[in-house]
């Protein structure tokens, strides 16, 4: 071993920890990029099958909640095994299928394609911004994350309520709030990896993916309501 490392053993340990953090972060980014492929494929399959016509809104909500939570439970259970990645990719395919209902509605508008591209570009900009901030921010975000988690629960409850109310104003409000909350969670989850608090890249990918998915879905809903053209 190099004499300088022997004299300062903490340097070797620190270097190993830094290498581990970089490896987890790199694997998270790669798996996150890979997860977009089944998501797009699932959305295409969903629109090709006419999922919005096959599933009524009520049944669709039940399928989404049962499927999403079932997949997330399985991902966490098998995150340390070889089955973890395929299950995660299966989950992203499922999420793509579920997204196809909203995509079909927006793409049915005369300016639908441009709205989808705006939502995609906005999501990309938010992700890049939060990824950059995650390497700059030094503050511990744990306490803030607790309040944001409460916000997610309230969003879920309000979203289910709006399923019956069908208020466009409430939908716009929920979309704006969701964009803010899930943008924060992108920052929070990436920072946890960089700080060495999250050492499993499958779990890290799941958290960041869900945040990106919700940001995109919220932007799509916001643009569809506020800027959609049905002419």
In b/e form, how buried is each residue of 109-121, taking b as 16+ CB within 10 angstroms? bebbeebbebbee
User: Shortest CA distance to 48 belongs to which of 119, 100, 102, 105?
Assistant: 100
Q: Tell if the pTM clears 0.75, that is, is over it.
A: yes
Q: What is the pLDDT of residue 1?
A: 46
CA distance 215 to 119: 9
CA distance 193 to 224: 34
Q: What is the pLDDT of residue 207?
A: 95
Q: What is the pLDDT of residue 14?
A: 60
> How do residues 126-147 score in pLDDT, each as one tens digit?
999 999 999 898 888 888 888 8
Burial (Cβ within 10 Å: 0-12, 13-18, ≥19) of residue 224: buried
CA distance 157 to 193: 29
> How do residues 178-201 score in pLDDT, each as one tens digit?
999 999 999 999 999 999 899 999
Taking the CB of residue 86, how many other CB atoms lie within 10 A of it?
A: 10
Taking the CB of residue 231, how many other CB atoms lie within 10 A of it?
A: 5
CA distance 86 to 68: 15
> How do residues 207-229 score in pLDDT, each as one tens digit?
999 999 999 999 999 998 877 66
Q: Between the ranges 82-91, 137-146, 158-167, where is the mean pLDDT highest?
A: 82-91
């Amino acid at each position: 071993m190099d004499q300088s490392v022997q004299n300062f053993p903490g340097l070797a340990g620190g270097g190993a920890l830094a290498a581990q953090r970089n490896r987890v972060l790199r694997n998270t980014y790669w798996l996150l990029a890979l997860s977009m492929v089944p998501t797009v494929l699932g959305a295409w399959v969903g629109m090709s099958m006419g999922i919005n016509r096959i599933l009524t809104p009520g049944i669709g909500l039940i399928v989404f909640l049962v499927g999403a939570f079932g997949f997330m439970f399985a991902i966490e259970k098998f995150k340390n095994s070889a089955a973890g990645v395929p299950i995660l990719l299966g989950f992203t395919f499922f999420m793509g299928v579920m997204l196809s209902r909203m995509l079909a509605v927006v793409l049915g508008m005369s300016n639908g394609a441009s709205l989808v591209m705006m939502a995609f570009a906005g999501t990309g900009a938010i992700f890049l911004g939060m990824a950059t901030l995650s390497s700059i921010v030094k503050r511990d975000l744990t306490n803030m994350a607790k309040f944001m988690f409460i916000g997610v629960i309230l969003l879920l409850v309000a979203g289910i309520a709006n399923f019956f109310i069908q208020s466009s104003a409430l939908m716009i409000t929920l979309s704006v709030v969701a964009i803010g909350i899930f943008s924060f969670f992108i920052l929070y989850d990436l920072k946890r990896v960089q700080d060495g608090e999250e050492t499993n890249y499958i779990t890290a990918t799941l958290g960041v993916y869900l945040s990106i998915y919700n940001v995109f879905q919220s932007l799509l809903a916001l643009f569809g309501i506020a800027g959609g053209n049905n002419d």
